[in-house]
Amino acid sequence: MVFNIIVVLLPILSLIYAALSGSLPALSSAVVEGAHSAVTLCLSICGLICFWQAVMEVMRQSGLADGLSRLLRPVLKKLFPTAASDRDTMNALTANVSANLLGLGNAATPAGINAAKGLQRLSGHTDASDELCLLVVMNTASIQLIPTTVASLRAALGAQSPFDILPAVWLCSACSVTAGLCAAKLFERLSKR
Amino acid sequence: MTLAGSLVIPLLVGSILMYALFHGTDVFSAMTLGAKDGLKTVFSILPALIALLPGIYMLRASGALDALSALLQPALEKIGIPSETVPLMLLRPLSGSAALAVGSDIMSASGTDSFAGRCAAVILGSTETTFYVIAVYFGAAGIKRSRHAVPAALIADITGFFTAVLFVNLLF
């Protein structure tokens, strides 16, 4: 739905604005350039993304990812007391959070969906429970430790050291997740009144 | 700070591979399996980028993006947000590939190591496609009322946008 609007709106707005400002001749080369750069961009970020995925698969197979899950469990138990009462839900939840930290989107989403289903079953409502809202907020605020897609994009576009944004990304992620969790907790209180 | 940033990756990769080797993992076949997964990810982005980037390039070529930036500049300058990043902030919660496309456009137009370029990178790296995630999770769990999930998630996004600008300002 959103895509349909964006894809149609962009050329229409460009045509109108270009007609008004007299820059119509520039549009056709922009189409060619855009389509071309979609492919070159994908090719140039491909290597680093695949390599990182490869390293993360090693991490998963060697049991390091499970170690991270175990490390997270005590913290998550405090945040999700209802989920902690059910083993499968808790396992899905810790797997979801650790996969998110490592940037394994392919593993994070199925685990997160299982956790969401588990939380829904435990609450028995079709309204999102407080803990389900928390889970969603944690997944909508990126907690990925190594943002490889962005780093590869920066490398492809000629950045001197593509990873130098890491400290800023960490601080920023920490702030946004904290703000999201605090907001969710605040809304919980307000809805109980 | 930049040295720490550039050492993180080699050290991390080295220690993960070393650990796996000593734990008897078949490192090479695990890596090729993971790389294959990575290929799938990249090729799932490509069609959307091909659909979106020509439109974004047209918008830039028409001059509309620069006009929008110029229009918003006076108001945004007061809170320190680079006006080039506004389209990215608007699209970020809605569509991952559109955000990636707009982000790459900002980085190539303003430069990867410029203030706006760095802000765009940090925003992309520290926020998620909020509405997509909410739709997937609540759809799968059969939730009818999302209650406070959307406002709380959007507060996280907005905090991310502002702190991205703040930390890029402080660290670079």
pLDDT in tens, chain A (193 residues): 567 888 899 999 999 999 999 889 999 999 999 999 999 988 988 998 899 889 988 988 998 888 888 999 999 999 999 999 998 999 999 999 998 998 877 778 889 999 999 999 998 888 899 999 999 999 999 888 888 889 999 999 999 888 889 999 999 999 999 999 999 999 999 988 7
**pLDDT, position B160:** 95
Q: Are A151 and A111 in contact (CB under 8 A)?
A: no
User: Which residues in A lie closer than 8 A to residue B112 (C-beta atoms)?
Assistant: 154, 157-159, 162
User: Which residues in A lie closer than 8 A to residue B108 (C-beta atoms)?
Assistant: 157
pLDDT confidence band for B5 (50 / 70 / 90):
low
Q: Between A and B, how many residue pairs show a Cβ–Cβ distance under 8 A?
A: 358
CB atoms within 10 A of CB A189: 9
Q: Are A120 and A167 in contact (CB under 8 A)?
A: no
Give the whole-angstrom CA distance, residue A129 versus residue A161. Answer: 43
User: Which residues in A lie closer than 8 A to residue B144 (C-beta atoms)?
Assistant: 126-127
With both helix axes pointing from N to C terminus, report the angle between A25-61 and B2-22 in degrees, rounded to the nearest 10. 40
pLDDT confidence band for B2 (50 / 70 / 90):
low
Q: How far is CA A79 from the centre of its chain?
A: 20
Does any domain span residue B18? Answer: no
The distance of B106 to chain A (nearest Cα, Å) reads 11
Does any domain span residue B28? Answer: no
CB contact under 8 A, B127 and A31: no
B172 CB-side CA count, 13 A: 23
Does any domain span residue B23? Answer: no
Strand partners, A127: B145
3-state helix, strand, coil in chain A (%, to 5): 85, 0, 15
A122 class by beta-carbon count within 10 Å (0-12 exposed, 13-18 middle, 19+ buried): middle
Does any domain span residue B38? Answer: no
**pLDDT, position B43:** 86
CB contact under 8 A, B46 and A42: yes
pLDDT above 80 (res B4): no
Does any domain span residue B109? Answer: yes
Q: CB-based contacts of A169: which residues, under 8 Å, 6+ apart?
A: A147, A150, B122, B125, B126
Q: Which two tokens stand for residue B24?
A: 């008897």
Does any domain span residue B126? Answer: yes
pLDDT one-digit tens code per residue, B84-120: 999 999 889 988 888 999 999 999 999 999 999 999 9
Helix (H) or strand (E) holding B12: helix B2-22
The distance of B82 to chain A (nearest Cα, Å) reads 16
The single-letter code of the amino acid at A149 is T
Tell me the residue range of the domain where B122 lies.
Answer: 45-171
**pLDDT, position A137:** 94
CB contact under 8 A, B62 and A21: yes
pLDDT above 90 (res B78): no
* Nearest of A95, A118, A121 to residue A107 by alpha carbon: A95
pLDDT one-digit tens code per residue, A125-169: 888 999 999 999 999 998 888 888 899 999 999 998 888 899 999
Q: CB-based contacts of A36: which residues, under 8 Å, 6+ apart?
A: none
CB contact under 8 A, B103 and A153: yes
User: Which phi and psi (to 5°) does residue B51 adopt?
Assistant: -70, -35
Give the whole-angstrom CA distance, residue A120 versus residue A167. Answer: 36
Q: CB-based contacts of A63: which residues, under 8 Å, 6+ apart?
A: B23
A105-120: b (≥16 Cβ within 10 Å) or e: bebbbebbbbbbbbbb
Does any domain span residue B164? Answer: yes
Give the whole-angstrom CA distance, residue A94 versus residue B137. Answer: 16
Q: Which two tokens stand for residue B37?
A: 């997964």
Handedness of CA B38, B39, B44, B49 (dihedral sign): positive
DSSP state of A127: B
CB contact under 8 A, A7 and B52: yes
pLDDT one-digit tens code per residue, B143-164: 888 899 999 999 999 999 999 9
User: Which residues in B lie closer than 8 A to residue A116 (C-beta atoms)?
Assistant: 137-138, 140-141, 143
Q: Are A138 and A180 in contact (CB under 8 A)?
A: yes
**pLDDT, position A41:** 87
pTM (global) more than 0.90? no
Q: Which two tokens stand for residue A140?
A: 């909508």
CB contact under 8 A, B121 and A165: yes
pLDDT one-digit tens code per residue, B115-137: 999 999 999 999 999 988 898 89
Helix (H) or strand (E) holding A64: helix A64-79
CB contact under 8 A, B2 and A112: no
* Chain B interface, best mutation among A46, A62, A130, A177, by max B CB count within 10 A: A62
Give the whole-angstrom CA distance, residue A113 versus residue A133. Answer: 13
Spell out the domain ranges in chain A.
Answer: 34-192
Give the whole-angstrom CA distance, residue A109 versus residue A115. Answer: 10
The distance of B78 to chain A (nearest Cα, Å) reads 21
**CB nearest to B53's CB, from A35, A144, A179:** A35
**CB nearest to A62's CB, from B20, B32, B131:** B20
